[in-house]
């Protein structure tokens, strides 16, 4: 018996090959991409420009089912957070941040995280598993569908894109789930799917050096590095991965990546921790680290300083606003573009480093069963089939 295929798992080349397996022409893959990712369709019957014979084949052998929405919260500042069921008892959180001229979606690539950065609540819950392509790109599919629904746009109809930027800064380390992450990136960039430019898709990594090099060849997008420390001793304690890939190797990888990146700079993310990494000495060490010295060229970059969002298990405190301001000024005086991230979605635990709380609390059986019932009604027979496959 041929295994059923979730078409959300296939990138453009894979979907073309799949159509070939069905005995269909390659151009049908482009049609399917548009229906699935541009129109948000999940029912083959609505794909009216496909021959009925093809729709029948697809209905018998494939399905389109994204992660189920368990909960949906909106912040007072407009930020919106979805808790999504990604199967096998796991859930991830996906956050939409609206701004005046853009809408940014922060998506997850793993359920939990194995990197265990000291200041990140996600790492404290441990690692569950890697997400499939469908679970990664499905977050974008769900968010776009939900946002368009809020605008009164029905599924299967074209509407103005609500999401203009994607950042892989949610739960997990993207480069430790490399294959599915790259496949999802290719879907985001394809003109027949989401059509995002490489400059508007940012992957954030804690510094998996070999995979940074591999990404530069496979699908280079904008790069952000979770740096958070100015020397190896400090970073070893804050970002344990540094013991395997120390700062010298990471900086060298950043320089190599810039040869292929869509932007001419690396963004360094730096979580501001009171009396840990926020002194004037740390700021000056950062300047030397990125601007280089004799025999070591600079890494073109900008710094994004992130006020720490405290959680009980960390034992850490947020840097004082005056300290953050002084720290930023030292970097700017050295000619480094520096911004302080505005904290968004705190009231719904959607701020940077907070994505873990609701994922851990998934014991509300009645609420989840109600959500599953609603989801089954929405996706009909496709839902029943994906449940059978997941078993």
* Rg of the Cα atoms in the chain: 22
Q: How far apart are CA 212 and CA 231, in angstroms?
A: 20
- pLDDT value of position 366: 46
What burial class does residue 334 get, using C-beta atoms within 10 Å of its C-beta: 0-12 exposed, 13-18 middle, 19+ buried? middle
The DSSP line for 168-199 is E-SSS-GGGSHHHHHHHHHHHH-TTTT---GG
Indicate which residue of 93, 144, 269, 358 is catalytic. 93
Is 19 an annotated catalytic residue? no
Contact 104, 153 (CB under 8 A): no
Count of alpha carbons within 13 Å of 86, Cβ hemisphere only? Answer: 27
Q: Which of 19, 120, 254, 352 is catalytic?
A: 352
Predicted confidence at residue 379, as pLDDT, reads 65
Strand partners, 110: 130
φ and ψ at residue 63, rounded to 5 degrees: -155, 165
Total Cβ atoms within 10 A of residue 387: 13
Task: Per residue of the chain (391 residues), give pLDDT as tens.
Answer: 468 999 999 999 999 999 999 999 999 999 999 999 999 999 999 999 999 999 999 999 999 999 999 999 998 888 999 999 998 889 999 999 999 889 999 999 999 888 888 888 876 778 889 999 999 999 999 999 999 888 877 766 666 788 999 999 999 999 999 999 999 999 999 999 999 999 999 999 999 999 999 999 999 999 999 999 999 999 999 999 999 999 999 999 999 999 999 999 999 999 999 999 999 999 999 999 999 876 677 999 999 999 998 887 778 999 999 999 999 999 999 999 999 987 655 554 544 444 444 454 443 444 544 555 565 566 665 655 544 444 3
Q: How many CB atoms lie within 10 A of CB 170?
A: 24
Q: Give the chain's length.
A: 391
Provide φ and ψ at 367, rounded to 5°. -65, -45
**pLDDT at site 321:** 95
Handedness of CA 269, 271, 272, 277 (dihedral sign): negative
Contact status, residue 188 vs residue 166, Cβ threshold 8 Å: yes
Q: Which domains does the chain have, with CATH numbers?
A: 5-65+362-390 (1.10.150.530), 68-360 (3.20.20.70)
């Amino acid at each position: 018996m041929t295994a059923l295929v979730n078409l959300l798992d296939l990138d453009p080349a894979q979907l073309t090959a799949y159509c070939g397996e069905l005995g269909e022409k390659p151009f049908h893959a482009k049609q399917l991409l548009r229906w699935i990712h541009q129109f948000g369709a999940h029912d083959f019957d609505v794909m009216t420009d496909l021959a009925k014979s093809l729709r029948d084949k697809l209905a018998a052998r494939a399905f389109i089912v994204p992660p189920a929405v368990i909960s949906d919260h909106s912040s007072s500042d407009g930020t919106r957070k979805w808790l999504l069921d990604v199967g096998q008892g796991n859930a991830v959180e996906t956050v939409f941040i609206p701004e005046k001229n853009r809408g940014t979606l922060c998506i997850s690539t793993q359920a939990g995280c194995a990197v265990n950065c000291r200041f990140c609540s996600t790492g404290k819950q441990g690692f569950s598993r890697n997400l499939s392509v469908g679970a990664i790109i499905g977050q974008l599919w769900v968010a776009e569908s939900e946002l368009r629904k809020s605008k009164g746009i029905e599924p299967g109809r074209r509407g103005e894109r609500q999401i203009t930027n994607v950042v892989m800064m949610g739960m997990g380390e993207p480069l430790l789930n490399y294959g599915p992450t790259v496949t999802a990136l290719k879907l985001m960039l394809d003109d027949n799917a989401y059509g995002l430019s490489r400059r508007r898709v940012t992957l954030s990594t804690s510094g998996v050096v070999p995979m940074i090099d591999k990404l530069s060849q496979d699908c280079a997008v904008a790069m952000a590095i979770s740096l958070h420390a100015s020397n190896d001793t400090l970073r070893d304690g804050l970002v344990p991965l540094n013991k395997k890939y120390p700062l010298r190797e990471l900086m060298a990888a950043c320089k190599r990546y810039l040869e292929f990146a869509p932007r001419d700079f690396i963004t360094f993310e730096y979580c501001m921790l009171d009396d840990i990494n926020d002194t004037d000495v740390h700021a000056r060490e950062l300047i030397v680290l990125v601007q280089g010295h004799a025999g070591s060229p600079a890494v073109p970059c900008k710094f994004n300083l992130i006020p720490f969002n405290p959680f009980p298990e960390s034992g850490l405190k947020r840097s004082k606003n005056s300290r953050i301001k002084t720290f930023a000024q030292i970097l700017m005086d050295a000619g480094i573009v520096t911004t302080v991230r505005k904290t968004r979605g705190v009231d719904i635990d959607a701020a940077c480093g907070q994505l873990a709380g609701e994922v851990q609390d998934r014991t509300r059986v009645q609420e989840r069963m109600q959500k599953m019932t609603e989801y089954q009604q929405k996706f009909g027979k496709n839902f029943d089939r994906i449940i059978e496959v997941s078993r």
